[in-house]
């Protein structure tokens, strides 16, 4: 998948020493989310990037369990109606990418669908007795999610991929070894321009802090984000609404071009000589086509019955099987 907004960093595998070094030269989704939520201070993140303090351990039991289940969660997502809709190919790579206009901004994705929608995966530690239910039920809006900046992290991924939304997946195993479909849940998280604006300002502020040592005057800390219901129907409705908004915007932009094109086509056809209905050139075919007037089938049927030319039963034998048109009206 390619985009003019971001650049996928080739041959950069997450978790490798090269990846860790690459992260030191960028600000990541996790980092900007922690700054936004107030979990990490500017000075602390600077010291971690400069190697002045040790970073949090990445080999703890919860982290290792999360790494074990991440590919299983991603694979299960692709078997759901939502996953099949977003990635018909059945694939969901995990690239690292930079924003083209802001090469200091990077993100390491848990998944990127065929439609360019990022996927964020959170596995709740199997031995946790307090937070997992809240995370499963409320996802990025959970108390744990707010404290860790899950919502902000997903918004950063949406920004870096120039996407209209993201998929947030949560899961908890009962024994820490076996994937549990009943404890798997997804949320569609829509693009939040206000939060993205805050995150970009924080990222710029941190870069300036790294360059000059001057702390930016930015408002950071936890924000109240209202959760929304997220059953499967609601998720697909949210996805449809997001796609419809993009379609209507594109359609509105194309409408003047379509009108101009149709007017030019009309002029071309009018230039055909009398009695000539088709003209071929090396790169164009101009056709004047006479369309037959449609017949009112129901009115014809009524006439035939009234004049006893055919019975209703005889007419019904000519009817085709019923077909259904999909129609969705947004309120």
Which CATH number fits the domain that encloses residue 15? 3.90.320.10
Does some domain include residue 318?
Answer: no
- Specify whether the CB–CB gap between 6 and 101 falls below 8 A: no
**Where in the sequence is the domain holding 89, given as residue range(s)?**
6-230
Whether 77 is covered by a domain: the verdict is: yes
Q: Angle 233-107-121 (CA atoms, 0-180°, nearest 5)?
A: 40
Alpha-carbon dihedral sign for residues 139, 143, 148, 153 = positive
**Is residue 1 in some structural domain?**
no
Please count the structural domains in the chain. Answer: 1
Per-residue pLDDT of the chain (331 residues; tens, 9 = 90+): 568 899 999 889 998 999 999 999 999 999 999 999 888 899 999 999 988 887 766 678 888 999 999 999 999 999 998 999 999 999 999 999 999 999 999 999 999 999 999 999 999 888 876 655 666 666 556 666 666 688 899 999 999 999 999 999 999 898 999 999 999 999 888 899 999 999 999 999 999 999 998 888 776 665 544 445 456 667 777 777 877 887 787 888 788 888 888 888 888 878 778 777 788 888 888 887 777 767 777 888 888 888 888 787 777 777 777 665 556 666 6
Q: Is residue 36 domain-resident? A: yes
Residue 182: inside a domain = yes
Structural domain contains residue 192: yes
Domain assignment present for 323: no
Can you state the percent helix, strand and coil of the chain, rounding each to 5? 45, 15, 40
């Amino acid at each position: 998948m390619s985009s003019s907004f971001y650049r996928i960093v080739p041959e950069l595998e997450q978790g490798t020493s090269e990846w860790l070094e690459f992260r030191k030269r960028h600000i990541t989704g996790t980092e900007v989310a922690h700054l936004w939520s107030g979990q990490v201070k500017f000075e602390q993140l600077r010291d971690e990037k400069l190697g002045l303090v040790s970073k949090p351990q990445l080999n703890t039991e919860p982290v290792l369990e999360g790494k074990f289940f991440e590919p299983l969660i991603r694979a299960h997502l692709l078997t759901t109606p939502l996953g099949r809709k977003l990635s018909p190919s059945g694939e969901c790579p995990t690239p690292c990418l930079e924003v083209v206009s802001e090469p200091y901004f990077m993100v390491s994705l848990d998944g990127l669908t065929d439609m360019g929608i990022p996927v964020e995966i959170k596995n709740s530690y199997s031995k946790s007795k307090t937070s997992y239910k809240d995370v499963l039920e409320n996802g990025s809006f959970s108390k744990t999610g707010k404290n860790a900046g899950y919502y902000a992290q997903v918004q950063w991924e949406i920004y870096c991929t120039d996407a209209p939304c993201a998929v947030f997946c949560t899961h908890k195993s009962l024994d820490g070894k076996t994937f549990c479909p009943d404890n798997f849940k997804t949320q569609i998280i829509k693009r939040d321009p206000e939060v993205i604006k805050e995150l970009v300002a924080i990222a710029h502020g941190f870069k300036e802090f790294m360059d000059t040592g001057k702390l930016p005057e930015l408002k950071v800390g936890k924000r109240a984000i209202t959760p929304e219901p997220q059953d499967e129907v609601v998720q697909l409705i949210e996805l449809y609404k997001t796609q419809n908004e993009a379609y209507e915007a594109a359609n509105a932009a194309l409408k003047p071009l379509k009108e101009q094109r149709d007017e030019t086509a009309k002029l071309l056809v009018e230039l055909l000589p009398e009695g000539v209905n088709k003209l071929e050139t090396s790169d164009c075919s101009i056709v004047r086509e006479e369309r037959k007037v449609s017949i009112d089938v129901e009115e014809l049927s009524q006439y035939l019955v009234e004049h006893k030319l055919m019975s209703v039963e005889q007419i019904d034998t000519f009817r085709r099987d019923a077909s259904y048109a999909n129609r969705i009206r947004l309120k």
